[in-house]
Amino acid sequence: MKVVIVGGAGFLGTNLALSLTKKEYKVLTIDLQTNERLKQADIPFTACDLQDTETLEKSIDKDDVVVHFAGSAIPNASSQSAYEDAATHILPSIGLLDVCVKKQAARVIYASSGGQVYGVPQYTPIDENHPTDPQTAYGIHKLAVEEYMQLYQRMYGLRTIILRFSNPYGPGQRPYRGQGIVATFLASAREGRPVEIWGDGNSVRDYIYIDDLTEAVEAAIRYDGRTSVFNIGSGIGTTVHEIAEAIEQATGTTLAKTCIPSKPADVGINILNCSRAEQELSWKASISLADGIAMMIRSHQA
């Protein structure tokens, strides 16, 4: 079985490629450019923009599993231009689905956002039956691609699986990018930089360590059931203040904190109910936040 990771040089894609390669999957990564971690592991790479359907057709073969990680991972960046966001993420994703139908791919697995597609929760933890009401352009484009995934499954029989991830963190995540609070706070602790606390610091999010996330994707690759949408998270809510405290405790450093106003579309709480993934995929997150932070610190020291 060959797994084609579109967006394979990003944080999620790189870690998935490394994990699958260790388990002897045949892996091809596709992105605009590769990175040192993929080079060192000698993982095959094809330089390709998501809109380059000709190269995608040459890269995807019959019965391949395609994992769609391409696109911006930063919600704020998506909100700057709704038109550009749609042109950059929605239309090329449809093009990728067309290629997968044409080449008879076995399935397409899409990285959606459990933190964005639901909007303001009516209840927590949020299960997959919760209404979707995204509050950002990023959430809207994620949901739109989800709908096209479901449409292509109905119309063309293309097997599609949607994974609604919570907030991933782990080694290799770049700090100071408007997302990835754990990586940013850890880097700030190392470098003695102040951290920004949005709002009162009591907003609650669900954080998932990257190894748990890659295990969930592998479970979706092997899954032979018919369910199509899964929440993938820890199921545990953590405030911004609690993240800061955990990092201070792990590093022995006191973070200098600067409070700034919260973002207009920021929701107060997001915790995912992942019981469907546990039941259908036989998957459950197992790495605690404290252990995940400790592993990130060790990776920086290596």
| pLDDT number for residue 240 | 95
pLDDT digits (tens, 9 = 90+) for 130-178: 999 999 889 999 999 999 999 999 999 999 999 999 999 999 999 988 7
Confidence check: pLDDT of 47 > 80: yes
Determine, yes or no, domain membership for 137: yes
Read off the tokens for 290.
């404290």
| Cis? peptide before 134, omega within 30° of 0 | no
Chain mean pLDDT for the chain: 94
Determine, yes or no, domain membership for 253: no
Confidence check: pLDDT of 109 > 80: yes
pLDDT digits (tens, 9 = 90+) for 21-34: 999 999 999 999 99
Determine, yes or no, domain membership for 255: no
Determine, yes or no, domain membership for 200: no
| pLDDT number for residue 83 | 84
Determine, yes or no, domain membership for 110: yes
| pLDDT number for residue 121 | 97
Read off the tokens for 89.
């993420």
H, E, C per residue of the chain: CEEEEECCCCHHHHHHHHHHHHCCCEEEEEECCCCHHHHHCCCCEEECCCCCHHHHHHHCCCCCEEEECCCCCCHHHHCCCHHHHHHHHHHHHHHHHHHHHHHCCCEEEEEEECCCCCCCCCCCCECCCCCCCCCCHHHHHHHHHHHHHHHHHHHHCCCEEEEEECEEECCCCCCCCCCCHHHHHHHHHHHCCCEEEECCCCCEEEEEEHHHHHHHHHHHHHCCCCCCEEEECCCCEEEHHHHHHHHHHHHCCCCCEEEECCCCCCCCECCECCHHHHHHCCCCCCCCHHHHHHHHHHHHHC
| pLDDT number for residue 179 | 79
| pLDDT number for residue 75 | 58
Determine, yes or no, domain membership for 111: yes
CATH number at residue 15: 3.40.50.720
Q: Could you list the residue range(s) of the whole structural domain that residue 53 is in? A: 2-169+209-233+273-285
| pLDDT number for residue 261 | 83
Query: Rounded mean pLDDT of 101-114?
Result: 98
Determine, yes or no, domain membership for 38: yes
pLDDT digits (tens, 9 = 90+) for 207-264: 999 999 999 999 999 999 999 999 999 999 999 999 999 999 999 999 999 888 877 7
Q: Provide the number of structural domains found in the chain.
A: 1
Determine, yes or no, domain membership for 180: no
Query: Rounded mean pLDDT of 114-138?
Result: 96
pLDDT digits (tens, 9 = 90+) for 54-88: 999 999 999 999 999 997 555 555 456 778 888 88
